[in-house]
Amino acid sequence: MQPSNEISRLIEIMAALRDPETGCPWDVEQDFASIAPYTIEEAYEVAEAIHTGDFEDLREELGDLLLQVIYHARMAQEDGRFDFGDVVYAITEKMIRRHPHVFGDKKARDAGMAKGMWEKIKAEEKATKDVRRKSDGADVDRIRQLDGVPAALPALTRALKLQQKAARVGFDWGSAEPVLDKIEEEIGELREAIAGGHHNQMADEFGDLLFSVANLGRHLQIDSEQALTATNRKFVERFNYIEDQLLAANVPLEDASPEQMEAFWQQAKSENNDDPA
């Protein structure tokens, strides 16, 4: 089989990999649940390639992410649920439906009616989905305000989305200042839990503190996930600087004193005058 720029070839490759008799044993034994973590990982690798500006890497990572879509669609096809063509149809139909100002009424585009149209159409879609789910036996009358926020999201991202949904019905602080007070309160409760030596309570209070910090970020219009990602990168850069300096001084990393590492850490910070952290 030869490589190709046609999507049909990728579908053929996945079918061959999943063949029960001649396919790859690892690929054959996978299911939706086992593949899901790889799907999430590939999405993050796409984001990393974008951050680094490596477009050769971005091309490859987008291919890896596309493979995940093909993989899930193939497993669904094997179960008789849907295939890749159905996936493509669903998203094209959705984009056309959600953008009538682009693909439909020219007057709507000229009149600037796009504002608010997205949420209106999504609400209509939800109503249609509820009818379908009810026909399948689901108790759609018990749909909650916070339903629809995927549990598999990264915890900080999910915290943000939960807070945003709660805020839509008025369950929110009026400004950042009381959130800061809440953070101080949570720190106090964490101190008490630490003093008590109860690990489960410490974990609970620590989670409350993280949730409150994410809430503060929302009020400051700072995305917690993005902010922490940037800090992670900064930490890696500074720690790499420590390693480089110790190597130049012929000092093994494991033999360096905390004082030596702290001194090089401060030097790494001073390398970037724009960063007061």
Q: How confident is the model over 39-88, as pLDDT tens digits?
A: 988 998 998 899 889 999 999 999 999 999 999 999 999 999 999 999 99
What is the token pair recorded at 37?
């973590």
What radius of gyration do the chain's Cα atoms show?
Answer: 25
| Residue pLDDT, tens place only, 213-264 | 999 999 999 999 889 989 999 999 999 999 999 999 999 999 999 999 999 9
Q: Is the pLDDT of residue 275 over 60?
A: no
**How high is the mean pLDDT of the chain?**
89
Q: In this predicted structure, what is the pLDDT of residue 3?
A: 87
What pTM does this model have? 0.65
* Beta-carbon count within 10 A of 214 CB: 24
Cα separation of the two ends of the chain: 54
d(CA 245, CA 264): 7
Q: Is the pLDDT of residue 121 over 90?
A: no
User: What confidence category does residue 199 fall into, taking pLDDT thresholds of 50, 70 and 90?
Assistant: very high
- The predicted model gives 172-177 an average pLDDT of 94
Q: Is the pLDDT of residue 269 over 60?
A: yes
d(CA 86, CA 17): 21
Q: In this predicted structure, what is the pLDDT of residue 20?
A: 96
Task: With H, G, I as helix, E, B as strand and everything else as coil, classify residue 137.
Answer: coil
Residue 203 or 116, more confident: 203
d(CA 257, CA 263): 10
